[in-house]
């Protein structure tokens, strides 16, 4: 937003670094008090704020005002992972353990919650299309099914899907952890343990690998699509001994 890139680092203070979108020069840092751990982050240009999901201890969402740096938080009451902002400028919080999508206002008022079908196991991230339908990526390391689903607006039915049994072949995933959707509803999927990013059509048909494993050093944990500049930002992270030890952001033209 405003030609700036916001980056989260796992460290004790100044956790959010702000960079220039052209030069990648560090501009400033933001501190989020009482944030115990980051699960995801998203931004809202209308309200000019950042939202951060904290699912490690407090199970809450932090809101950071970008104009004045003020911070607030509200409880989610379930462990949150992925965040997104829908066309109503509300925050969608994906809760994997209870298979729920919770919609909050910008000030943290719970507007509604949807329980996903029982076969959508361990959802990581959700985005909502303009017609009200949802796209959800789901599947953890120990789960049999790893896939993308387009789900009806009431959360009850799968309209389209891509993936199935966990694997590395074309059409398979191994922890599809984050997604991004462009203005034409094409879907970019970060496939963590296969170390790639897949592009799907609006009906979730396979198109191609937009980022192959040879373009990454580690695991693609997060991604962001800049539709105006046609850039895809991929967070490429290394994990050793149960801790994140190294990381970088890789930028691709799409």
Instruction: Please classify residue 144 by burial: count the beta carbons closer than 10 Å to its beta carbon, then call 0-12 exposed, 13-18 middle and 19+ buried.
Output: exposed
Annotation: CATH topology of 116-253:
Neuraminidase (2.120.10)
Q: Which stretch of DSSP H or E encloses residue 207?
A: strand 206-211
The SS3 of residue 213 is helix
Distance CA 92, CA 74 (A): 13
- Looking at residue 246, the DSSP 8-state letter turns out to be E
Q: Please tell me the predicted confidence (pLDDT) of residue 56.
A: 74
pTM above 0.85, yes or no: yes
- Condensed to tens digits (0 to 9), the pLDDT of residues 133-165 reads 999 999 999 999 999 999 999 999 999 999 999
Share of the chain above pLDDT 90, in %: 83
pLDDT tens sequence across 53-64: 987 777 999 999
User: Is residue 149 within 8 Å of 135, Cβ to Cβ?
Assistant: yes
Confidence of residue 12 (pLDDT cuts 50, 70, 90): low
**Helix, strand, coil shares, percent, the chain, to 5:** 0, 50, 45
Domain boundaries, the chain: 116-253
Across-strand partners of 8?
A: 16
């Amino acid at each position: 937003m405003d030609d700036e890139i916001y980056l989260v680092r796992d460290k004790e203070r100044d956790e959010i670094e702000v960079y220039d979108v052209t030069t990648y020069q560090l501009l400033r840092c933001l501190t989020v008090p009482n944030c115990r751990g980051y699960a995801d982050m998203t931004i809202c240009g209308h309200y000019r704020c950042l939202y951060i999901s904290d699912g490690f201890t407090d199970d809450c969402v932090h809101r950071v005002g970008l104009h004045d740096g003020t911070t607030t938080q509200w409880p989610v009451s379930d462990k949150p992972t992925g965040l997104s902002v829908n066309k109503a400028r509300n925050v969608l919080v994906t809760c994997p353990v209870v298979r729920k999508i919770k919609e909050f206002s910008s000030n943290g008022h719970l507007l509604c919650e949807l329980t996903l079908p029982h076969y959508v196991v361990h959802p990581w991230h959700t985005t909502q299309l303009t017609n009200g339908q949802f796209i959800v990526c789901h599947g953890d390391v120990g789960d049999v099914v790893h896939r993308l689903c387009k789900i009806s607006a009431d959360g009850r039915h799968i309209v389209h899907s891509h993936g199935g049994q966990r694997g590395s072949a074309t059409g398979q995933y191994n922890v599809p952890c984050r997604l991004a959707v462009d203005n034409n509803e094409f879907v970019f999927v970060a496939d963590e343990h296969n170390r790639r990013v897949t592009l799907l059509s609006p009906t979730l048909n396979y198109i191609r690998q937009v980022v192959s494993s040879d373009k990454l050093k580690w695991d693609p944990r997060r991604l962001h699509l800049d539709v105006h500049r046609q850039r895809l930002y991929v967070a490429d992270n290394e994990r050793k001994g149960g801790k994140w030890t190294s990381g970088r952001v890789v930028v691709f033209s799409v």
